[in-house]
C-alpha cells in the first residue's frame, strides 16, 4: 500500500477518487496550510522509528491491520466521532464538547480492525497494537483542527511530531511513507504545505441546499509542497492535486 501523500504524488495531478483521501482534505477551506502531514524517520542499522502527525493514523493502522490479518493481538485506544456510532463493540463511551470517544481495549484480529474502520469511514481511529515485534502507538484523541498559514510556527521552530509512533525492523512498513530516493536516509524529516486554491462543486452538488453536505462532498484543488530535511540537507518537491 501507499500512504495518502504518496498516492497523491503518484497520481501526478489527476483526481483521486478515494474516500479516505477526500476526508483528509474535507476540513480545509481555501488558503495555505503549512506543516501538515509531518513525519520524522530514524534508521539505526535497519531498526526504524517513524514518528508522524495525526494525518497518517489511518494509513498506519490499516497497514498494520493488514499485516496482522486473521491473527489476534491486544488493540487499545479510541474511535473518535462527532456523530453517534453503532454496530460495533466498545468497552466504554466518553463524551466531551460534542465529541464521542468509543474506547477499545480487547483482543482483535487485523480483519476485525479493518472491518471496524470500514464501518465508520468518517471517524478518527486512535488505535495502538503490536504485530509481532512491530509496535504502533497512536494517541487516543481527536486531532487538532486545521489552521491557516498565519497561525503556523516559525520556520526554524522544532516541529511537534509525536501523534503516531511506529517501531519496526520491517522496511516494507516504512516504504509506504517515503519515496524511493528517501528510503536510504538514516535520518529524515518531512513536512507538507497544503495550498488549497479552489473548492470544486459539481453542477449536481450546486443543487443541494444542505450547506454541510456541500462542504463535505466538494473537492479540494491545489498544490502540495513536500519539504524535506534529509540528514540536514533541505529540498522540496511539489504536485498538483484534486481530491
pLDDT digits over 23-63, tens only?
999 999 999 999 999 999 999 999 999 999 999 999 999 99
What Cα–Cα distance (Å) separates residue 35 from each residue in 55, 82, 109, 159, 235?
Answer: 11, 25, 34, 8, 15
* Residues 9-29, mean pLDDT to the nearest whole number: 94
Q: Kindly report, residue by residue over 130-180, the tens digit of the pLDDT.
A: 999 999 999 999 887 766 665 455 555 578 999 999 999 999 999 999 998
pLDDT-based confidence at 212, cuts 50/70/90?
confident
* Mean per-residue pLDDT, 113-137: 96
pLDDT number for residue 147: 65
Would you state the cell numbers that stand for residue 208, as one nine-digit string? 443541494
Residue identified by cell 453542477 is 203
Residue 226 pLDDT greater than 70, yes or no: yes
pLDDT recorded at residue 90: 94
Confidence (pLDDT) at 151: 47
Instruction: Summarize pLDDT for 55-109 with one digit per residue, the tens.
Output: 999 999 999 999 999 999 999 999 999 989 988 999 999 998 889 999 999 999 9
Q: How confident is the model at residue 242 (pLDDT cuts 50, 70, 90)?
A: very high
Cβ(79)–Cβ(102) below 8 Å: yes
- The predicted model scores a pTM of 0.91
CB 133 within 8 A of CB 168: yes
End-to-end CA distance of the chain: 18
Amino acid at each position: 500500500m501507499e500512504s495518502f501523500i504518496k498516492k497523491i504524488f503518484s497520481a501526478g495531478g489527476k483526481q483521486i477518487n478515494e474516500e479516505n483521501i477526500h476526508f483528509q482534505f474535507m476540513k480545509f477551506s481555501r488558503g495555505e496550510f503549512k506543516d501538515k502531514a509531518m513525519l520524522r524517520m530514524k534508521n539505526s542499522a535497519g531498526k526504524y522509528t517513524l514518528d508522524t502527525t495525526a494525518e497518517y493514523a489511518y494509513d498506519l493502522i490499516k497497514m498494520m491491520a493488514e499485516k496482522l490479518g486473521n491473527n489476534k493481538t491486544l488493540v487499545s485506544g479510541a474511535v473518535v466521532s462527532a456523530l453517534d456510532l453503532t454496530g460495533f463493540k466498545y468497552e466504554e463511551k466518553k463524551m466531551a464538547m460534542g465529541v464521542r470517544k468509543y474506547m477499545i481495549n480487547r483482543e482483535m484480529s487485523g480483519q476485525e480492525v479493518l472491518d471496524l474502520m470500514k464501518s465508520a469511514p468518517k471517524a478518527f481511529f486512535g488505535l495502538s497494537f503490536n504485530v509481532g515485534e512491530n509496535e504502533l502507538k497512536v494517541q487516543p484523541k481527536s486531532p487538532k483542527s486545521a489552521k491557516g498559514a498565519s497561525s503556523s510556527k516559525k520556520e526554524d521552530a522544532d516541529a511537534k511530531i509525536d501523534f503516531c509512533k511506529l517501531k519496526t525492523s520491517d522496511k516494507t512498513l516504512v516504504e509506504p511513507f517515503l519515496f524511493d530516493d528517501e528510503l536510504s536516509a538514516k535520518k529524515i524529516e518531512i513536512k507538507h504545505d497544503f495550498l488549497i486554491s479552489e473548492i470544486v462543486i459539481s453542477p449536481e452538488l450546486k443543487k443541494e441546499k444542505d450547506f454541510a453536505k456541500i462542504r463535505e462532498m466538494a473537492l479540494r484543488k491545489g498544490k502540495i509542497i513536500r519539504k524535506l530535511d534529509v540528514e540536514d540537507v533541505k529540498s522540496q518537491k511539489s504536485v498538483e492535486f484534486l481530491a
